[in-house]
Every structure is written in C-alpha cells, then in structure tokens.
Amino acid sequence: MSFLDNPKNAGTVLWIIGILNIILGLVSIIMGVIDDDTDLVYGVINGIGGIIVGFIYFGFGKSIRSGEISEKWDILTRFVLVSAMAVAIGGIFGYDEDLGQYAVNIVVSLIIALIIFWIYKRMTDGKADTLDKILWVLLVLFFIISAIFDIFAMIAFPIGTIMGIAGLIVDLFMLLALLDNDVKAKMGM
C-alpha cells in the first residue's frame, strides 16, 4: 500500500492540520489581546473560529487514524461533510471590521456550506445516477485545483508551507479515493 493510499496517513495529516489550526487560532487570540496593531475583536473572533475548525479536523483525523473510519468511501464523504462545516464556521467567525462585508461573508459562506452539504447528502443517498457522475467529475476537478493552490501555499511563510504540504497530501488521497473502483461504483462511474 502506497503512502497516499493508506487511510492512516491521511488521518495523520488531517490530525496535523487540526493541530495547526488550533495553534493559529490561539496565536490570533493572543495577538488580538497583546498586539496594538491587531484588533482585539478580530483576533478573538477569528481565533475562536480557527480553534473550532482545528478541533473538527483533529477529531476527523483521529477517527481515521484509529480505524473508526477506514473505508475510502466513508473518508471521502465525511471529508465533504467536514469541509461544509469548516466553510460555515470560517464564514461565521471570519470577522471583518466592515460589518457590511462581514455580513456578506457570512451569507456567502453559509450558501457555499449548504451546497457542499447538499453534495454530501447526494453522495450518501444510496443512488447512483447521472448527477452522481457529474459530482464525481466536479470533485476530481476540485481536488486537482485544490492541489495546485496547495502547491502555491508551500511558498508562503513556514506554517503556509506545512499547511500546503498537508493539504496537498489530503487532496492527493481524496483524488486516489475518487479513482478507487468501489468509490466510482457508488457514484455510478
């Protein structure tokens, strides 16, 4: 079994992503409190969101590492669900000093989260029809584009490099999961 094909490795990377999000959330809160250049409300609200998202990814990664979630199909569908939660939380806790922009960010994030949640529900409804085939293609394209963005993130500051590598590993795992015969069959491919 290759590194990218092993669910426990994907779980470890998701676990690391969770830990890094928790650390970044704590740093955001601390900077909001002690740094005069960082707005207190911005630092605290964004930090809380980062911590919540971090615990979600950490818990998901832990479930995979422990073997509680081990099938590629289950990992893929649960990842879609976790992504919906992360987008919603990111929007709600993505505070912007411009309250109008903040409201727009919340609404847009919640709409995107609902679309992702609908994809999750559609994937797990037990049907395999033309729409599932379209979703399969869209997911493949999404993970390819996400992998490209993760490569760009690697040239960022040190945490960006780590997050970029971790994101790339997750994207490649999800791509390989989508190419798995059992997953393809469940999506009508």
Mean pLDDT value of segment 168-180: 92
Mean pLDDT value of segment 7-14: 92
Does 113 score more than 80 pLDDT?
Answer: yes
Does 172 score more than 70 pLDDT?
Answer: yes
Does 1 score more than 60 pLDDT?
Answer: no
pLDDT digits (tens, 9 = 90+) for 50-105: 999 999 999 999 999 999 999 999 999 999 999 999 999 999 998 777 888 889 99
Quote the pLDDT of residue 153.
81
Does 159 score more than 70 pLDDT?
Answer: no
As a whole number of angstroms, the distance between CA 180 and CA 141 comes to: 16
Share of the chain above pLDDT 70, in %: 97
Share of the chain above pLDDT 90, in %: 70
Does 149 score more than 60 pLDDT?
Answer: yes
pTM of the model: 0.89
Quote the pLDDT of residue 48.
96
Q: Which of 149, 154, 188 is nearest to 171 (CA)?
A: 149
What are the extents of the domains in the chain?
Answer: 3-186
Quote the pLDDT of residue 42.
84
